[in-house]
Amino acid sequence: MKLLSNKLSALAATAVMAVSLSTNALADKLDDVISEGELRCGVVLDFPPIGYRDANNNPAGFDVDYCRDLATALDVDAKIIPLTWAERLPAIVNNRTDVIFGGTSDSLQRAKTVGFSIPYAIYYAQAIIGKDSGIKTFADMKGKRIAGAVGTVPEKEFLKYAKKWGTESLYQGYQSENEVFLAVAQGKADAGLTTNTTIKPVVGQFSSLAAGPRMPWTTDYTSVAGPRKDIAWLNYLNLFVTHQVRSGRYQELWGKYVGGEAPALRIPNVMY
Amino acid sequence: MSESANTIQFFTGFRFNDLGFLAEAAGNTLLISVISISIGSVLGCLFGWALHVSVLARYILGSVLDIFRSVPLIIQLLLFFNFFPILGLPLEPFAAGCIVLIFYTSALVAQVARGGIEAVPDSMRRASRSLGMSYLQDMRYVVWPIGARAMLPAWTGVALGVLKDSALVSVLGYLELLRASQILITRTQEPFIILAIVGAFYFALSYPIGKLSAKLEQRWQYD
Amino acid sequence: MLDASLNSDIQLKLFISLASLLSSGTHMDYTFHWRPVIKALPDLFSAALVTLEAAVLSMLLGIIFGLVLALMRLHGSRPLSLFATVWIELARNTPALLQLFFFGFGLGAFGWHLTPFTIVLCGLAFNNAGYLAENFRGGFQAIPAPQYKAARSLGMSATQTYTRIIIPQVFRLVYYPMTNQMVWAVLMSSLGMLVGFRELSGETQFLASNTFRLFEFFLAAAVFYYLLVKLILLAAHLLSRRLFTY
pLDDT, tens digit, 9 for 90 and up, residues A175-189: 888 889 988 988 889
Tell me if A95 sits within 8 A of B85, measured CB to CB.
Answer: yes
Q: Is the peptide bond before A49 cis (omega within 30 degrees of 0)?
A: yes
Q: Does B179 fall in a domain? A: no
A37 torsion bin: left (phi>0), alpha (psi -120 to 50), beta (else): left
Q: Which residue, among B106, B9, B91, has the nearest Cα to B48 in the 3D structure? A: B106
CA dihedral sign of residues A252, A258, A261, A264:
negative
Q: Does B111 fall in a domain? A: yes
Lowest mean per-residue pLDDT among A13-27, A140-154, B62-76: A13-27
| Cβ-based contacts of B86 with chain A (< 8 Å) | 94-95
**C residues 187-206 near B, CB within 8 Å?**
187-188, 190-191, 193-194, 201
CA dihedral of residues B166, B168, B171, B176 (deg, nearest 10) = 40
- C168-to-A3, B80, C144 alpha-carbon distances in Å: 62, 44, 14
C94–chain A Cβ distance below 8 A for any pair: no
Domains and CATH numbers, chain A: 27-123+220-257 (3.40.190.10), 125-214 (3.40.190.10)
The angle subtended at Cα B180 by Cα C86 and Cα B82, nearest 5°, is 110
**Residue ranges making up the domain that contains B77:** 30-169
Residue A221 CB coordination number (10 Å) = 19
Minimal CA separation from B199 to chain C, in Å: 6
SS3 assignment, position C33: coil
Q: Does B165 fall in a domain? A: yes
Contacts of B148 (CB under 8 A, 6+ apart): B116
CATH number at residue B160: 1.10.3720.10
Quote the pLDDT of residue B7: 67
pLDDT digits (tens, 9 = 90+) for A139-160: 999 999 999 998 888 898 999 9
In chain C, % of residues over pLDDT 70: 87
Q: Does B189 fall in a domain? A: no
SS (H, E, C) chain B: CCCCCCCCCCCCCCCCHHHHHHHHHHHHHHHHHHHHHHHHHHHHHHHHHHHHHCHHHHHHHHHHHHHHHHCCHHHHHHHHHHHHHHCCCCCCHHHHHHHHHHHHHHHHHHHHHHHHHHCCCHHHHHHHHHCCCCHHHHHHHHHHHHHHHHHHHHHHHHHHHHHHHHHHHHHHCCCCHHHHHHHHHHHHCCHHHHHHHHHHHHHHHHHHHHHHHHHHHHHHHCC
What chain A residue is nearest to B90 in terms of C-alpha separation?
A96
C29–chain A Cβ distance below 8 A for any pair: yes
Tell me if B110 sits within 8 A of B53, measured CB to CB.
Answer: no
Quote the pLDDT of residue C108: 80
What ipTM is given for this predicted complex?
0.89
Contact call for C98 and B82, based on CB within 8 A:
no
**What is the rounded average pLDDT of the residues B194-212?**
93
Contact call for A83 and B189, based on CB within 8 A:
no
Q: Give φ, ψ of C111 to 5 degrees.
A: 85, 15
- Checking if the pLDDT of A16 tops 70, the result is no
Read off the pLDDT band of A266 (50, 70, 90): confident
pLDDT digits (tens, 9 = 90+) for C110-134: 877 788 899 999 999 999 999 999 9
Tell me if C174 sits within 8 A of C135, measured CB to CB.
Answer: yes
Q: To the nearest whole number, what is the mean pLDDT of chain A? A: 87
Q: Does B209 fall in a domain? A: no
Q: What is the β-pairing status of strands A171-174 and A146-149?
A: parallel
**What is the rounded average pLDDT of the residues A83-92?**
87
Q: Which residue, among C46, C81, C30, has the nearest Cα to C206 in the 3D structure? A: C46
Q: What is the β-pairing status of strands A77-83 and A38-44?
A: parallel
Q: Which residue, among A1, A232, A237, A227, has the nearest Cα to A111 in the 3D structure? A: A227
Read off the pLDDT band of B2 (50, 70, 90): very low
Contact call for B191 and C96, based on CB within 8 A:
no
Q: Which residue, among A159, A156, A180, A157, has the nearest Cα to A168 in the 3D structure? A: A159
C28–chain B Cβ distance below 8 A for any pair: yes
Largest separation between any pair of C-alpha atoms in chain B: 87
**C residues 137-166 near A, CB within 8 Å?**
none
Q: Does B210 fall in a domain? A: no
Tell me if C36 sits within 8 A of C207, measured CB to CB.
Answer: yes
Contact call for C11 and A87, based on CB within 8 A:
no
Quote the CA–CA distance of B22 and B33 in Å, as a whole number. 16
Q: Does B16 fall in a domain? A: no
Contacts of B182 (CB under 8 A, 6+ apart): A176, B170
Lowest mean per-residue pLDDT among A167-171, B197-201, C134-138: A167-171
Tell me if A220 sits within 8 A of A265, measured CB to CB.
Answer: no
Number of Cβ pairs closer than 8 Å across A and B? 81
Quote the pLDDT of residue C49: 96
Quote the pLDDT of residue C1: 38
Q: Total domain count for chain B?
A: 1
Quote the pLDDT of residue A194: 92
Quote the CA–CA distance of B48 and C152 in Å, as a whole number. 47
Looking at per-residue pLDDT, the higher value among A183 and C1 belongs to A183
Q: Which residue, among C125, C127, C62, has the nearest Cα to C93 in the 3D structure? A: C127
Tell me if A30 sits within 8 A of A233, measured CB to CB.
Answer: yes
Of C17, C109, C211, the CB nearest to A186: C109
Q: To the nearest whole number, what is the mean pLDDT of chain C? A: 87
pTM above 0.90, yes or no: no
Q: Does B219 fall in a domain? A: no
**What is the rounded average pLDDT of the residues B140-153?**
89
Read off the pLDDT band of C158 (50, 70, 90): confident
Tell me if A139 sits within 8 A of A166, measured CB to CB.
Answer: no
Q: Specify which residues A82 forms β-bridges with.
A: A43
Looking at per-residue pLDDT, the higher value among B44 and A13 belongs to B44
